Amino acid sequence: MRVTPAVVADEYEWVRGRADVVIPLVNETRAHLSEQFGVDVPGIDAADYHEAVDAAFADGDRAVNLAALVGLLRDLDVADDYPGFVVDEFLGRELAAMLAGDQPLRLLAEATFHVADVHTHGDPGETAGADDLDAALAAGVQTRLSGWPWTEGESPFALER
Q: What is the pLDDT of residues 116-142, one digit of tens each?
A: 988 776 665 676 677 889 999 999 999
55 lies in a domain?
yes
Instruction: Flag whether pLDDT at 83 surpasses 70.
Output: no
**Spatial separation of the C-alpha atoms in residues 96 and 108, rounded to whole Å:** 9
Instruction: Flag whether pLDDT at 74 surpasses 70.
Output: yes
* Beta-carbon contacts of residue 24 (< 8 Å; ≥ 6 apart): none
pTM: 0.90
81 lies in a domain?
yes
155 lies in a domain?
no
The alpha carbon dihedral of 113, 7, 45, 100 has a sign of positive
Which domain covers residue 100, as residue numbers?
A: 5-148
125 lies in a domain?
yes
Other CB atoms within a 10 A radius of the CB of residue 92 amount to 29
My answer on whether omega of the bond before 83 falls inside 30° of 0, hence cis, is: no
159 lies in a domain?
no
Q: Domain count for the chain, please give it.
A: 1
